[in-house]
Amino acid sequence: GGPPARAARPRGGPAGPGGAGVTPRGGARAAPPPPLLRTRLPKAEVIECEGAQLLPALAEAASRATVLGVCGGDGTINAAATAALRADVPLAVFPGGTLNHFALDLGLIGPEGTCEALEHGEAVRIGVGRFSPGPDGEPGYFLNNFSIGAYPELLRHRLRWGPRIGGGPAALLAAWKVLRAERPVRLSLAGRRRSVWLLFAGNGTYHGTGPTPGRRDGLGEGLLDLRLVHGGGRPGPRLLAAAFAGPLSRSPVHAATHLRSLRIGSVPAGTPLAYDGEYAKAPRELVLDALPDALTVYRPL
């Protein structure tokens, strides 16, 4: 629940009566494009693709589209946003995944709102997070969040147990399970050596005090919401649980701040990272930064 993200800056986009110039796409694990797209946007080019076809298909579509559309979940939308950013075209999001965090924070419940925004040329500019391997690697982007450490496992346990026992108990159980199985990651943050259980960077400010927060206040402010759970030995389960359950100021192991960029170095080989529900191996060095007003996205105003 809650209102849509409020910090996105209004901007008119090209109107597409009947969907002219719009290329909605389905992705791996996404539902087929809803019939509404074909009826409300009859001039749109609709191409279904999945798996290894997705990234090259999106890049090719973005290179010739007036508006790049995407129907899928957060991972598919991330791939489309990356293609739209590189081609400098607006993005039209048709929620079609399981959770649809980005679409919900933007205020999009289903495809109808996006169709209306396209027909009237209503769009906003939003901030985007970027992670850049140094010095010559190609950057990646995140619309929701980026993490190194225990976050993927924490989220998996919370999603599994939350519907059965409630959000708070599920967070405590997740903390206990992760502490038993995981080890802190030793790396460098802004030139200082640190040991962390978790590094979480959100694109915009999230609600909640824990290191795996909920909805966002804004998508256009151009700031990263950084959450750290410090390592150092083997802290008891109660310490990490405190970071989930209590205010930040009361936790000896949890810190939070807002910043525009962060340099991360000395990352151990094989360390996983996660972004918008996708996973990869972290490079030895990378820079996280926020790109304000980087992407135009359709949304009813």
pLDDT digits (tens), the chain, 301 positions: 343 444 445 566 666 555 555 666 544 344 456 677 778 888 888 887 777 788 888 999 899 889 999 988 888 999 999 999 999 999 999 988 777 889 988 988 888 899 999 989 999 999 999 999 977 788 999 999 999 987 666 766 777 787 888 777 777 777 777 767 667 889 999 999 998 878 889 998 887 665 555 677 667 678 898 888 777 655 555 445 544 544 444 455 567 788 999 999 999 998 888 899 888 889 999 999 999 999 999 999 8
Q: What is the C-alpha separation between 134 and 137, in angstroms, rounded?
A: 6
DSSP secondary-structure letter at 216?
B
* Structure tokens given for 292: 């304000």
Residue 81 CB contacts under 8 Å (≥ 6 apart), including other chains: 91, 128, 141, 143, 295
Single pTM value for the model: 0.81
| Inter-CA distances, 209 with 15, 118, 149, Å | 40, 36, 18
The tally of CA atoms less than 13 A away on the side-chain side of residue 301 is 16
Preceding amide of 135 cis, omega within 30: yes
Q: At what angle do helices 237-245 and 167-181 cross, to 10 degrees?
A: 150
SS3 label, residue 87:
helix
Radius of gyration of the chain (CA): 19
Q: Which amino acid is at 211?
A: P
- Walk me through the domains of the chain, giving residue ranges and CATH numbers: 17-120 (3.40.50.10330), 142-292 (2.60.200.40)
Residue 136 CB contacts under 8 Å (≥ 6 apart), including other chains: none
